């Protein structure tokens, strides 16, 4: 078994990490809360939604910091990806046209689904009929895998 | 500045009950808004029932934020200008002025009265309707929000005299409510007003742009809340003037400390009317200039709205590295008037991202310049000089001081710290004479060109400052030694 390395003994993170440390810490606290939250009263698939959502939000934060706000260096960005602060595969999808708002990777997975298609949350709001969801124009839907209410780029 | 208005804002909103027909709701964005089921009207501002009780003015309150006021003013003017095209202001006398103000609404600020400043002949002090004051030079036709130094002194003197006169003249019980130091408070308030009015006013002078329509500063709402006992002179004078305190109460911001007593009696109004008649007679042209400046420019462009929103972001003290969601969590920001300068959350988010980008660039530039001044190794060595002792092994030392910033600094690695500590303690175990010798050797080894006779010890060359041997002696003795060494150079 490899030795457990504490933060002090590791190589320090690239410069600029201390600026975003607080926000990342908040995300990790939220994540811990979500992981420890009780599943009682929830549907089976509902229990993991918050985990997906927090991980999405954190990835988005880092993606924004690097690509939109240009607040962090390439070095730090790579380090964050390597250390699991953001999901590199998800970010890779966001760079593709039509996937700019993708909620999670499971929602674009067509294999092992009933109709060999993507998730309901990938359908643009305009294409949903009223009866599809509880609300107007299918506004009531939440996808099974991550609780997304719609992540089509045209929405 | 902003915080202060908020703290006073919230309780007042809580206390006053909603009029009949209105109900309170929460928007998805976290805003509280009010909806009237009968009129199908919704507004962000808390509607208040027109009450009969006399106004209560918070005399302790400071002047409200001018950026805030300018923004509300600008929004109001936007509503005004939506329907009718704005006309250049004209001052032709009391009557037409009144019509004018009715058409434009009462929110727009404009010169109201003017007084000559004693001992300061070309300058006159002009009071606007919202209680702001500026000085106008009748010779050069120059108007300034920021008082020049000499004028300022004269105005303060004038204020003092005015207040003394008022105190003697009026011996009513109401007067006793006004604190004695009001005269002192007022010039202060105006100082800050003069300072903050300058940045505020340019924001208020731009052409129109889409603003949220929720802000319900309808001029009608001011008409109905009018509560004064002297009807007749009031009508002559126009609705704007004596209602100013009420108006600001309506908005939930504390009233600016008025120059005179808040309730006007007949004499006051008569005097003021005469004064205004006089002013408009001779000074119409001057005021006209000012008026055009103020009114035609009032509506805001999109960029101004963004600037307003950015000023909110600057004031709220949020880190630019933070997220937009975090920003929304803070209720005091969401409830700020500047928050609704932008119409929807998407545009706010865009503005936030742009703001954060700019701020981060600034921060990084600043950091770049600071980088040279801070060296983690030097800090750590200083720390060792103070705390290291041969009595403690490294793990013990580490445990004892694990909370200290020097030991938590991520810029330095744990193993470097350990290594330095061990070396340091090994040095401490040797005799003092030996350590002295070491230090002298270090100084001798340093580049002669970098050493000067009376240099500050903090500005010694890097290779000396970063060396362990520089820190092993007691600080006082070391300094003595280094100084004597430098003098012999």
Residue A12 pLDDT exceeds 70: yes
Domain boundary among A95, A122, A146: A95
* pLDDT band for position A3 (cuts 50, 70, 90): confident
Note which residues in 56-95 of chain A have CB less than 8 A from chain B: 57, 61, 64-65, 68-71
Q: Are residues A111 and A143 in the same domain?
A: yes
Cα B309 from Cα B351, distance rounded (Å): 8
Please tell me the predicted confidence (pLDDT) of residue A26: 93
* Other C-beta atoms lying within 10 Å of the C-beta of residue B366: 10
Cα B54 from Cα B242, distance rounded (Å): 13
CATH code for the domain of B353: 1.10.10
Domain containing residue A37: 17-95
Please tell me the predicted confidence (pLDDT) of residue B276: 60
Residue B397 belongs to a domain:
yes
Distance from CA of A80 to the nearest CA of B (A): 15
Facing residue for B321 by CB, picked from A13, A19, A68: A19
Q: Are residues B401 and B451 in the same domain?
A: yes
- CA-based torsion, B297, B299, B302, B304: positive or negative: positive
Residue B230 belongs to a domain:
no
User: Which stretches of chain B drop beneath a pLDDT of 50?
Assistant: 1-13, 53-64, 81-106, 173-262, 281-296
Cα B376 from Cα B177, distance rounded (Å): 59
Residue B123 belongs to a domain:
yes
Residue A143 belongs to a domain:
yes
Is the Cβ pair A71, B319 closer than 8 Å?
no
Domain containing residue B145: 111-168
Q: Are residues A90 and A106 in the same domain?
A: no
Nearest CA in chain A to B353: A69
Is A116 in CB contact (< 8 Å) with chain B? no
Residue B433 belongs to a domain:
yes
Residue A92 pLDDT exceeds 90: yes
Residue A131 belongs to a domain:
yes
B28, B319, B321: which to substitute to probe chain A, counting the most A Cβ within 10 Å? Answer: B321
Please tell me the predicted confidence (pLDDT) of residue B424: 92
Domain boundary among A95, A125, A145: A95
Q: What confidence tens digit (pLDDT) does each residue in B387-443 have?
A: 989 999 999 999 999 888 888 887 788 888 999 999 999 999 988 899 999 988 988
Q: Are residues A74 and A111 in the same domain?
A: no
Is the Cβ pair A69, B353 closer than 8 Å?
yes
Q: What confidence tens digit (pLDDT) does each residue in A41-81 have?
A: 999 989 999 999 999 999 999 999 999 988 999 999 999 99
Please tell me the predicted confidence (pLDDT) of residue B273: 63
A8, A22, A68, A101: which to substitute to probe chain B, counting the most B Cβ within 10 Å? Answer: A8
Q: Are residues B348 and B435 in the same domain?
A: no
* pLDDT band for position A89 (cuts 50, 70, 90): very high
Helix B414-429 to helix B376-387 angle (10° resolution) is 40
ipTM: 0.85
Distance from CA of B269 to the nearest CA of A (A): 57
Collect all residues of chain B within an 8 Å Cβ-Cβ radius of residue A22. 319, 321-322
Residue B220 belongs to a domain:
no
How many independent structural domains does chain A possess? 2
* Other C-beta atoms lying within 10 Å of the C-beta of residue B483: 14
Domain boundary among B168, B203, B233: B168
Token pair listed for B12 = 């007042």
Q: What is the pTM of this model?
A: 0.49
Q: Are residues B423 and B470 in the same domain?
A: yes
Residue B389 belongs to a domain:
yes
Cα angle at B435 between B431 and B436, to 5 degrees? 115
Strand partners of residue B114: B126
Strand partners of residue B128: B111
Q: Are residues B461 and B391 in the same domain?
A: yes
Is the Cβ pair B356, A69 closer than 8 Å?
yes
Residue B143, SS3?
Answer: strand
Is B415 in CB contact (< 8 Å) with chain A? yes
Domain boundary among B151, B168, B185: B168
Please tell me the predicted confidence (pLDDT) of residue B237: 42
Contacts for B100 with CB less than 8 Å, ≥ 6 apart: B89, B90
Is the Cβ pair B321, A8 closer than 8 Å?
no
Domain boundary among B342, B369, B396: B369
Is A19 in CB contact (< 8 Å) with chain B? yes
Residue B193 belongs to a domain:
no
Please tell me the predicted confidence (pLDDT) of residue A133: 52
Q: Are residues A127 and A144 in the same domain?
A: yes
Residue A3 belongs to a domain:
no
* pLDDT band for position A95 (cuts 50, 70, 90): very high
Q: Are residues A87 and A106 in the same domain?
A: no
Element (H, E) at B24: strand B22-26
Is the Cβ pair A23, B353 closer than 8 Å?
no
- CA-based torsion, A118, A124, A129, A131: positive or negative: positive
Cα B33 from Cα B18, distance rounded (Å): 12
Nearest partner of B66 among B239, B232, B200, B221, judged by Cα:
B200
Q: Are residues A91 and A154 in the same domain?
A: no
Averaged pLDDT score across all residues of chain B: 68
Distance from CA of A70 to the nearest CA of B (A): 7
Q: Are residues B358 and B430 in the same domain?
A: no
- Which backbone phi and psi does B36 adopt, to 5 degrees? -100, 115
Is the Cβ pair B411, A70 closer than 8 Å?
no
Q: Are A124 and A112 in contact (CB under 8 A)?
A: no
Q: Are residues B356 and B332 in the same domain?
A: yes
How many independent structural domains does chain B possess? 3
Q: What confidence tens digit (pLDDT) does each residue in A146-155 have?
A: 999 999 998 7
């Amino acid at each position: 078994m490899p030795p457990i390395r504490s933060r002090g003994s590791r190589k320090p993170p690239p410069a600029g990490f201390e600026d975003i440390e607080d926000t990342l810490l908040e995300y990790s606290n939220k994540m811990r809360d979500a992981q420890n939250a009780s599943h009682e009263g929830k549907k089976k698939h509902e229990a993991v939604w918050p985990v997906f959502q927090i991980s999405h939000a954190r990835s988005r934060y880092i993606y924004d910091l690097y690509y939109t706000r240009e607040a962090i260096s390439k070095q730090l960005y790579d380090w964050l990806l390597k250390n699991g602060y953001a999901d590199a595969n998800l970010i890779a999808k966001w760079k593709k046209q039509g996937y700019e708002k993708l909620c999670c990777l499971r929602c674009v997975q067509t294999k092992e689904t009933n109709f060999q298609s993507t998730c309901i949350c990938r359908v643009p709001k305009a294409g949903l009929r009223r009866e599809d969801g509880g609300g107007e124009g299918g506004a009531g839907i939440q996808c099974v895998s991550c609780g997304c209410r719609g992540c089509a780029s045209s929405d | 500045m902003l915080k202060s208005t908020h703290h006073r804002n919230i309780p007042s909103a809580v206390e006053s009950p909603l009029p009949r027909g209105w109900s309170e709701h929460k928007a998805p964005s976290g805003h509280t808004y009010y909806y009237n089921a009968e009129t199908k009207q919704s507004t962000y501002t808390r509607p208040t029932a027109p009450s009969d009780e006399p106004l209560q003015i918070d005399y302790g309150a400071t002047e409200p934020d001018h950026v805030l006021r300018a923004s509300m003013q600008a929004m109001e003017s936007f509503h005004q200008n939506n329907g009718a095209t704005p006309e250049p202001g004209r001052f032709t006398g009391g009557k037409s002025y009144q019509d004018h103000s009715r058409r434009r609404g009462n929110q727009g600020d404009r010169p109201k009265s003017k007084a000559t400043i004693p001992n300061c002949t070309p300058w006159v002090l002009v009071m606007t309707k919202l209680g702001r004051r500026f000085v106008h030079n009748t010779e050069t036709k120059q108007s300034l929000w920021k008082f020049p130094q000499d004028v300022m002194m004269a105005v303060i003197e004038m204020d003092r005299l005015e207040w003394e006169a008022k105190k003697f003249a009026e011996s009513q019980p109401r007067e006793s409510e006004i604190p004695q130091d009001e005269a002192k408070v007022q010039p202060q308030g105006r100082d800050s007003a003069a300072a903050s009015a300058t940045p505020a006013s340019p924001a208020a002078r731009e052409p129109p742009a889409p603003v949220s329509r929720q802000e319900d500063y309808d001029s009608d709402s001011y008409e109905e809340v009018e509560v004064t006992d002297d009807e007749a002179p009031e009508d002559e004078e126009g609705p704007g003037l004596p209602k100013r305190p009420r108006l600001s109460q309506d908005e939930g911001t504390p009233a600016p400390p008025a120059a005179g007593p808040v309730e006007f009696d007949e004499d006051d109004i008569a005097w003021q009317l005469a004064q205004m008649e006089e002013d408009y007679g001779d000074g119409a042209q001057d005021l006209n200039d000012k008026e055009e400046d103020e009114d035609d420019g009032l509506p805001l462009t999109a960029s101004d709205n963004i600037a307003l929103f950015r000023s909110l972001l600057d004031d709220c003290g949020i880190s630019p590295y933070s997220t937009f969601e975090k920003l929304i969590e803070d209720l005091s920001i969401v409830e700020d008037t500047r928050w609704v300068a932008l119409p929807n959350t998407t545009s706010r988010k865009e503005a936030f991202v742009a703001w954060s980008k700019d701020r981060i660039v600034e921060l990084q530039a600043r950091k770049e310049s600071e980088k040279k001044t801070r060296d983690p190794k030097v800090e750590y060595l200083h720390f060792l000089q103070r705390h290291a002792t041969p009595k403690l092994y490294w793990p013990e030392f580490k445990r004892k001081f694990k909370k200290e910033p020097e030991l938590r600094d991520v810029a330095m690695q744990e193993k470097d710290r350990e290594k330095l500590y061990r070396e340091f303690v090994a040095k401490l175990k040797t005799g003092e004479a030996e350590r002295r010798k070491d230090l002298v050797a270090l100084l001798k080894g340093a580049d002669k060109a970098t050493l000067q006779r009376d240099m500050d010890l903090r500005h010694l060359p890097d290779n000396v400052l970063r060396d362990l041997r520089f820190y092993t002696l007691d600080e006082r003795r070391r300094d003595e030694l280094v100084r004597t060494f430098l003098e012999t150079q």
